[in-house]
Amino acid sequence: MNLASASPWHGKGLRIDVSTGGATVAAVPPDVSRAYLGGRGLGAYMLLAERVFEIEPLAPQNPLIFAPGPLTGTGAPAAGRYSVSARSPLTGTIFDGNSGGGWGNALKHLGYDYLHVTGRCATPSYLLVGGGGSELRPAAALWGLDVPDTLARLRELHPGSEAAVIGPAGERGVLFASIVNNRGRSVGRGGLGAVMGAKNLKAIVLAGDGGWRPRPVDKERFDFVVYEATKMLKSNPITSQGLPEFGTAVLVNVLNQAGALPTRNFRESRFELAEQISGETLRRDYTTKRGACRGCSIGCARRTATAGESGDGPEYETIWALGASCGIGDLTAIVEANYACNRAGMDTITTGATIACAMELTEVGALKGGPRFGDASAMRELVDAIALRDGIGDELAQGSRRFAAAHGHPELAMQVKGLELPAYDPRGMKGQGLAYATSNRGGCHLRANMLYPEILGIPKMIDRFATLGKAGLLINMQNLACVLDSLSLCKFTALAMKEDYYARLLSAVSGEMVEPQELLRIGERIWTVERLFNLAAGFSAVDDTLPPRLLNEPVAAGPAKGHVVDLAPMLAEYYICRGWNAAGVPSRAKLEALTVAGLAEAAGVEAQ
């Protein structure tokens, strides 16, 4: 069967209530597909329209929305991705994460623009979706298995399938549990794995092939743009050399040299043992094989091995979180802790950052007998304790915000809106501070990473210590990130490609002219819808802030010495550039221009 389609959208999704196993096929109107593209954008639209801001994150009614994008599986560079959207149990905000591997392609081939999963299985189950429909299968034999064993078992049961699963952390409700699919790629952050666990849902298996294959309307033009895009990726030293050779860990030395590698829970911004945990060391002593998501020419993934174990990763963020952030320079311990997180299905950033928070609480005397900075064996034990919710691990499984507050020092949780900050100290790259503060899903580098212009010089190098004049650039990056997550393309392509490439790819696939500027407008619409969700959920401008340390404690030494983040003027400029008032609420004119005024009104958000 060949269902080659001229449209990049199927125009339908599958809604499944796992309480009953009932499934219905629902239409996706063409105007919704064009306005939100797919992936993250489609998820954001549905979460706001369905008033999910009123639903507790771990309640059965909180939907998990799995969605590929219009470019998924088309052969566009690094386009084999999908998003998962829900309200986060860690942050309470709207949340989405995306992953590579082959799961997104498989869903697209089955003929759906999304899977919408609500309810709670009476007993542990997994969901099997194929060309003929869906069914719930008992997962008693899978429950309790770690991620690799679950994936392996499901491959045995359903040869040729693609599975997205949770590990023990998701089963036990660790608030930063992840969802992991074949090839070891994760929807890592925000605890979407806990949402899945709360549904008693161990896995979603895509088996069989619905027969759909992409057929760009203008195939010749599509091939031409792919050729030109690939040229750009192959001529850029980051995408053709740095990432393929070292993986994302190439950034350890880059950020350390810049004085922007947060160390010991952001107390310092340079790590004296950085060389020991660098990408160069990882390549030399641990890397056994390079890997790539389907359809990707960059290949930033890698297999590694220690004397006793082997597995995927670690990524840069992981090395930082379990390493510099905890004051640990033992790369073997970091690599093996990463394996443990992967087995349990836990976000390594929040895991490491929460342990670092516990280490500082110990240092200041607020946590008796707790772990100390630099103690690799304590860090390693705590990873397992968190996954099992054993002892202090049960508290740590709530994330740093709740943990630090419970021990009397909320200011020591290095988080924004409840999500732990990643591996970039904004005192050494001020625009990143604004990016963290304004991120719709909390402290995150994937909503927009000012690393590009402030450290890597993409599109051009800007003064990383300057404050004013960066809001417009950040907003364009945030809007573009929305576009990439909704087309479902890897963000690393933006290291070498500009928005016009994405517009030309979508135009060739759909046969409808999409201008680059229109694409950014779509990104702005998605960002605004996410903001509306958060406003409706009770978030406000008060939450657009940073941990006090970053605002008040100057960096003591290194290239960023003496710097703090002067956030207030940046934030004021940001709101103006967004067309929001001083309280961070979009103007009516802005909402109408983005055609979301009706959504805002229905959500009860009063435009200013």
Partner 1 sequence: MIDQFQSIGRDLFVAGLISSHGGNMSVRMGDRILITRRGSMLGRLEERDIIDTGLDDNDANVTLASTEIVVHRAIYQSTAALAIVHTHPPYAIAQSLVRDEILPIDSEGSYLLHKVPVVSAELTAGSVEVAGLLPQWLKEYDLVMLRGHGPFAIGHLLEEAYQLTSVFETTCKILTIAESTGRAVKEYRKGSERYENW
Is residue 235 near partner 1 by the rule CB under 8 A?
yes
Q: Which residues contact 600 (CB under 8 A, 6 or more apart)?
A: 532, 586, 591, 607
Is residue 505 near partner 1 by the rule CB under 8 A?
no
> In the bound complex, what is the minimum distance in angstroms from residue 569's beta carbon to partner 1?
12
Is residue 595 near partner 1 by the rule CB under 8 A?
no
Looking up tokens 């679950």, which residue turns up? Answer: 150
Is residue 551 near partner 1 by the rule CB under 8 A?
no
Peptide bond into 459 cis (omega under 30): yes
Amino acid symbol at 187 = V
Residue from 231, 234, 284, 289 touching partner 1 (CB under 8 A): that is 231
Cα distance between residue 517 and residue 496, in whole Å: 18
Is residue 476 near partner 1 by the rule CB under 8 A?
yes
Residue from 207, 462, 482, 594 touching partner 1 (CB under 8 A): that is 462
Taking residue 505's Cβ as centre, other Cβ atoms within 10 Å add up to 28
Phi, psi of 117 (to 5 degrees): -115, 120
Is residue 593 near partner 1 by the rule CB under 8 A?
no
* Relative orientation angle of helices 471-487 and 567-578, to the nearest 10 degrees: 60
Residue from 31, 156, 220, 606 touching partner 1 (CB under 8 A): that is 220
Is residue 604 near partner 1 by the rule CB under 8 A?
no
Residue from 272, 411, 515, 566 touching partner 1 (CB under 8 A): that is 515
Residue from 520, 535, 571, 591 touching partner 1 (CB under 8 A): that is 520
3-state secondary structure of 152: helix
> In the bound complex, what is the minimum distance in angstroms from residue 154's beta carbon to partner 1?
43
What sign for the dihedral angle of Cα 477, 481, 465, 531? positive
Is residue 496 near partner 1 by the rule CB under 8 A?
no
Strands 162-165, 201-206: pairing is antiparallel
> In the bound complex, what is the minimum distance in angstroms from residue 244's beta carbon to partner 1?
21
Cα distance between residue 575 and residue 454, in whole Å: 21
Pick the piece of the chain touching partner 1 (CB under 8 A) from 390-398, 538-546, 554-562, 570-578.
570-578
Is residue 224 near partner 1 by the rule CB under 8 A?
yes
Q: Which residues contact 54 (CB under 8 A, 6 or more apart)?
A: none
> In the bound complex, what is the minimum distance in angstroms from residue 494's beta carbon to partner 1?
12
Q: Which is nearer to partner 1, 143 or 222 (CB)?
A: 222
Cα distance between residue 502 and residue 524, in whole Å: 16
Cα distance between residue 330 and residue 324, in whole Å: 10
Cα distance between residue 419 and residue 151, in whole Å: 28
Which 395-454 positions form the footprint of partner 1 (CB under 8 A)?
Answer: 453
> In the bound complex, what is the minimum distance in angstroms from residue 475's beta carbon to partner 1?
8
Cα distance between residue 455 and residue 426, in whole Å: 11
Fill in the DSSP letter of residue 274: G
Amino acid symbol at 199 = K
Q: Which is nearer to partner 1, 6 or 576 (CB)?
A: 576
Instruction: Decide: 565 and 433 in contact? Cβ < 8 Å.
Output: yes
> In the bound complex, what is the minimum distance in angstroms from residue 222's beta carbon to partner 1?
11
Taking residue 17's Cβ as centre, other Cβ atoms within 10 Å add up to 17
Q: Which is nearer to partner 1, 85 or 479 (CB)?
A: 479
Residue from 24, 241, 310, 517 touching partner 1 (CB under 8 A): that is 517
Cα distance between residue 438 and residue 444, in whole Å: 10
Q: Which is nearer to partner 1, 112 or 502 (CB)?
A: 502
Q: How many residues bind partner 1 (CB under 8 A)?
A: 32
Residue from 217, 232, 273, 456 touching partner 1 (CB under 8 A): that is 232
Residue from 2, 159, 227, 368 touching partner 1 (CB under 8 A): that is 227
Residue from 25, 27, 122, 576 touching partner 1 (CB under 8 A): that is 576
Cα distance between residue 17 and residue 223, in whole Å: 40
Cα distance between residue 447 and residue 459, in whole Å: 17
Instruction: Decide: 495 and 238 in contact? Cβ < 8 Å.
Output: yes
Residue from 215, 521, 561, 588 touching partner 1 (CB under 8 A): that is 521
Is residue 592 near partner 1 by the rule CB under 8 A?
no
Cα distance between residue 105 and residue 107, in whole Å: 6
Residue from 158, 210, 573, 605 touching partner 1 (CB under 8 A): that is 573
Is residue 544 near partner 1 by the rule CB under 8 A?
no
Q: Which is nearer to partner 1, 411 or 500 (CB)?
A: 500
Cα distance between residue 567 and residue 545, in whole Å: 8
Residue from 473, 495, 571, 599 touching partner 1 (CB under 8 A): that is 473
Footprint of partner 1 (CB under 8 A)? 220-221, 224, 227-228, 231-232, 235, 453, 459-460, 462, 468-469, 471-473, 476, 479, 498, 500, 503-504, 515-518, 520-521, 573, 576-577
